[in-house]
Amino acid sequence: MKISVMGGGPAGLYFAILMKKSYPAARITVFERNRPDDTFGFGVVFSDETLQTFEAYDFESYQAITDHFAYWDDIEIHFKDNVYRIGGNGFCGTSRKQLLILLHQRARELGIELLFETDVTDFERLMRESDLVVASDGINSLVRETYKDHFQPEVDLRPNKFAWMGSTKPLDAFTFFFEETEYGIFIAHTYQYEPGLSTWVMETDPDTWARAGLDKMNEPESAKFLEKVFAKQLEGHPLLINRSYWRNFPAIRNKHWYKDNIVLLGDAKSTAHFSIGSGTKLAMEDAIALFEAFRANASVADALAAFESQRREDVEKIQHAAEVSLVWFEHVDRYWDMDPVQFAFGLMTRSKAITYDNLELREEPFVRAVDKMFAKQVAAEGFEVDLENPPAPMFHPLRMRDMVVENRLVVSPMDTYSAVEGVPQDFHLVHYGARAMGGAGLLYTEMTCVSEKGRITPGCAGIYTDEQEAAWSRIVDFVHKNSHAKFCMQIGHSGRKGSTKLMWEGIDQPLEEGGWDVVAPSALPYFENSPVPHVMTREDMDWIKGEFVAAAKRANSAGFDMLELHCAHGYLLASFLSPLTNTRDDEYGGSLENRLRYPLEVFDAVRAIWPNEKPMSVRLSATDWKEGGITGDDSVAISQAFLEHGADLVDVSTGQTVPDAKPIFGRMFQTPFAEQIRNEAGVKTIAVGNITTADQVNTILAAGRADLVAMGRPHLLDPAVGLDSAATYGFSEMYCPPQYLAGYQQALRTAQRDREELKELKLKARPRHHYTDARKQAAE
């Protein structure tokens, strides 16, 4: 087998090494346009887990790498004269030049041909003369650009500016420095990679960069400027440059990864932001995945197809974590006024790889400091709180107007489609009653419709008749008598998404019979086969506004503690907000101010009759997940408008506005929008969306990403999520109905033991690498 590798970076070299080791007869040539000792940048960094992978695949290169690495276990955060040192992370670094030298040596030992200062541009010929061509030719891949019509690359140039520099300043931890100047905020991502040398990646937002005049400075001038910014941290050490130009990070994706017998690898295929230190890791793990594809498949075509199909999900997960991380740094000013402990916790947990529980495993004293910080914030709101030994964040109360929820866990509004003529049944009594007794602080109804024609499906609950009101009153009474949960009714109108089948019969699909006319701001059907909505007139608006007011009056009579106005998911009020669904040319369409007009009218009318002592929330789709739709910035403005009109809380969801949206799913995938709205609009928020554990709840709350956290699907399977979570964290003060108290007490006794055993197992399972005395000395 003849293999040609374009580019002598870590990805191409490591793939060549693995293939030659397993297939000695293979003829492998690596073509590199630069000289052997040419390299740009300074250090590279790997985690313990990555080293463990290298050890399993090629012990010789692993041993050579670890013999030359500086190792450290801590992350250190310097913020406003505060320093936080957090252990248990397991990192190691070396110079990029040293890494390439080691891989060159290993490649030569195995008989791989390395051709330097060699440009290859006739890719068609190379493909004909090779069984496999590996295009590992970097971010500016010529191969990718030559065949871009096939690979279909997407390059997202992020707004922040960065420059890769070095220093002689010694460091004993992966260190983040934050400095505020007259121009704005500068960030330094730093780590030592060999004795006497450290990497300093400098980052700032484009406005700060321009105000500082860095757009007019050359490399030496930029370095001198930054030496002044970070003079305290550098302690007289210089900044070193090596093609340290200011750049924008390119987030690269490709629709296709291979063409015929040529395959993209490493940065040519996909990039991951430097803030999670995963660029070289991603590249070398790509090499491992491609090698495994060849081990499992006999033909090149099958191997390349397997590589793309099996590796893509892992790459996208890493890229998603990297993008969440880079967005945190792009908006660091959003967190600048936070308590320094909260700032540090938010930094540590920004990419979702590290959570509250995970951080407790690494550095328990720091998490205890986080608990105390959160408790002080709660005490400042007028609550009596144990400041010395506070519970985890989710077990603290929250006040909105005169209503106090005992903890921060929320049962999401979840449609059950089980009403009859809009009347809640015994199913609803059991459903809501069980979840209220399960320990959540706040319980939401499903979207409850304000009229018969405002229903989504024939099975949707309503609150527009006496019978419906009485049924809801029965449920509210049960919740109040048997739990401490506060109960919120969510009211809404389906708009153009009405007259559809039950979810399990075909979500959002129109009824084949028994349907009804639908209304919307514009005559745009949801699907092509959906009914075309009637365009609302001023008379329609007044009528439906009256239906919302009547529903709110009934909700109050039924005894609900709180009311939520549903302005999300493409239903009627959401359809006014989104430019994708509102194409009106009157005062209710066009600008965001105009699109807000009718939802605010409805809110004002409802707020006027809803008791002043009871809070109101608004549910929003913070993004439509489609170009031209609502963005996070729009949702900040929308939230501020509702706040000014008397809203106490924004329940932050996303999407479901149009059927061709492209949401980016993942753990806690909607939480960044709740965080943005909370910290930019200055309003309390609920985070919701694929939040599945109490650990995630505590992480979100402690980082200041939301004030309440809602779980939906976990509550479907386990109504007692709240009590289970309290037992896990040893919180014995959560209210439990006396009928279930024995079970709760038993859970308290056993959960702590189970938690300690799990902690011990996790500690034992952490990767361990053994370093020679020379390596230890280098690390020191």
For 725-773, what is each residue's pLDDT tens digit? 999 999 999 999 999 999 999 999 888 777 777 777 766 655 555 444 3
Report the C-alpha gap between 500 and 509 in whole angstroms: 5
Q: How many angstroms separate the Cα of 442 from the Cα of each of 435, 483, 488, 725?
A: 10, 11, 7, 15
Q: Give the residue from 650, 679, 676, 85 showing the smallest Cα distance to 338.
A: 679
Q: Report how far Cα 33 is from the mean position of its chain's Cα atoms.
A: 38
Q: Residue 163 has which token pair? A: 């420059």
For 381, other C-beta atoms within 10 Å of its C-beta total 12
Provide mean pLDDT across the span 173-201.
94
Distinct helix (H) and strand (E) counts, the chain: 28, 29
Owner of token pair 């009714």 = 489
Report the C-alpha gap between 775 and 483 in whole angstroms: 59
Report the C-alpha gap between 123 and 268 in whole angstroms: 15
Owner of token pair 């790459």 = 315
Q: Residue 294 has which token pair? A: 């060849």
By three-state DSSP, how is residue 495 classified?
helix
Q: Which residues contact 404 (CB under 8 A, 6 or more apart)?
A: 397, 398, 486
Beta bridge partners of residue 400, listed in sequence order = 403
Report the C-alpha gap between 668 and 246 in whole angstroms: 33
Q: Give the residue from 548, 566, 567 showing the smallest Cα distance to 444.
A: 566
Q: Give the residue from 22, 33, 32, 69 showing the smallest Cα distance to 50.
A: 69
Active site residue 571: yes
Q: Report how far Cα 319 is from the mean position of its chain's Cα atoms.
A: 11
Report the C-alpha gap between 769 and 780 in whole angstroms: 16
* 115 band by pLDDT with thresholds 50, 70 and 90: very high
Starting at the edge strand found earlier in the chain, the sheet holding 91-95 runs 43-47, 91-95, 70-72
Amino acid 765: pLDDT: 59
Residues 446, 449, 454, 455, CA torsion sign: positive
Amino acid 438: pLDDT: 97
What is the CA angle 631-676-373, rounded to 5?
170
Which string of b and e fits 613-633 if b means at least 16 CB within 10 Å? ebbbbbbbbbbbbbeebbebe
* 96 band by pLDDT with thresholds 50, 70 and 90: confident
Provide mean pLDDT across the span 266-272.
95
**Spatial contact of 32 and 4, defined as CB atoms under 8 Å apart:** no
Helices 59-67 and 48-57, interaxial angle, to 10°? 140
**Spatial contact of 475 and 560, defined as CB atoms under 8 Å apart:** no
Q: Give the torsion through C-alpha atoms of 208, 211, 217, 221, to 10 deg.
A: -70
- pLDDT at residue 775 is higher than 80: no
- pLDDT at residue 633 is higher than 50: yes
**Spatial contact of 466 and 421, defined as CB atoms under 8 Å apart:** no
Amino acid 392: pLDDT: 97
Give the strand pairing for 486-492 and 442-449.
parallel
- Out of 143-152, 317-326, 376-385, 588-597, least confident range: 317-326
**Spatial contact of 570 and 497, defined as CB atoms under 8 Å apart:** yes
Q: Name the strand (E) or helix (H) holding 525.
A: none
- pLDDT at residue 777 is higher than 60: no
Q: Residue 306 has which token pair? A: 């397997």
Provide mean pLDDT across the span 367-377.
97
What are the DSSP calls for 420-435, one per residue? Answer: BTTB--HHHHHHHHHH
Q: Residue 131 has which token pair? A: 């069984």
What are the tens digits of pLDDT across the range 670-688? 999 999 999 999 999 999 9
What are the tens digits of pLDDT across the range 342-363? 999 999 999 888 999 999 988 9
Amino acid 767: pLDDT: 59
Provide mean pLDDT across the span 198-214.
97
Q: How many angstroms separate the Cα of 733 from the Cα of each of 407, 693, 745?
A: 11, 20, 11
Provide mean pLDDT across the span 537-544.
98
Output Rg (C-alpha) for the chain, integer angstroms: 29
Report, in this order, helix, strand and coil percent for the chain, each rounded to 5.
45, 20, 35
Q: How many angstroms separate the Cα of 214 from the Cα of each of 219, 222, 225, 329?
A: 10, 6, 8, 19
Report the C-alpha gap between 464 and 449 in whole angstroms: 8
Q: Report how far Cα 26 is from the mean position of its chain's Cα atoms.
A: 43
Q: Which of 444, 571, 598, 744 is catalytic?
A: 571
**Spatial contact of 631 and 621, defined as CB atoms under 8 Å apart:** no
Q: Which residues contact 200 (CB under 8 A, 6 or more apart)?
A: 42, 165, 166, 167, 169, 188, 189, 190, 230, 239
Amino acid 418: pLDDT: 96
What are the DSSP calls for 481-516, one per residue? Answer: HH---EEEEEEE--GGG-SB--HHHHTTPBPSSS--
Torsions phi, psi of 404, nearest 5? -120, 125
Q: Give the residue from 205, 199, 326 showing the smallest Cα distance to 271.
A: 326
- pLDDT at residue 776 is higher than 80: no
Report the C-alpha gap between 131 and 128 in whole angstroms: 8
Give the strand pairing for 153-167 and 197-204.
antiparallel
Q: Is 515 exposed, middle or buried (0-12, 13-18, 19+ CB in 10 A)?
A: middle
Report the C-alpha gap between 62 and 555 in whole angstroms: 66
Residues shown for the chain = 780
Q: Residue 688 has which token pair? A: 């919701």
Q: Report how far Cα 730 is from the mean position of its chain's Cα atoms.
A: 28
Q: Name the strand (E) or helix (H) holding 59.
A: helix 59-67
- Across the chain, what does the average pLDDT equal? 93
Q: How far apart are the first and last CA of the chain?
A: 46
Q: Name the strand (E) or helix (H) holding 257.
A: none
What are the tens digits of pLDDT across the range 460-478? 999 999 999 999 999 999 9
Amino acid 685: pLDDT: 98
Percent of the chain's residues with pLDDT above 70? 97
DSSP for residue 237: P
Provide mean pLDDT across the span 556-572.
98
**Spatial contact of 191 and 175, defined as CB atoms under 8 Å apart:** yes
pTM, entire model? 0.92
Provide mean pLDDT across the span 73-96.
89
DSSP for residue 412: P
Give the strand pairing for 43-47 and 91-95.
antiparallel
- Out of 17-26, 117-126, 402-411, least confident range: 117-126
Torsions phi, psi of 253, nearest 5? -135, 155
Amino acid 65: pLDDT: 82
Q: Residue 509 has which token pair? A: 């699909």
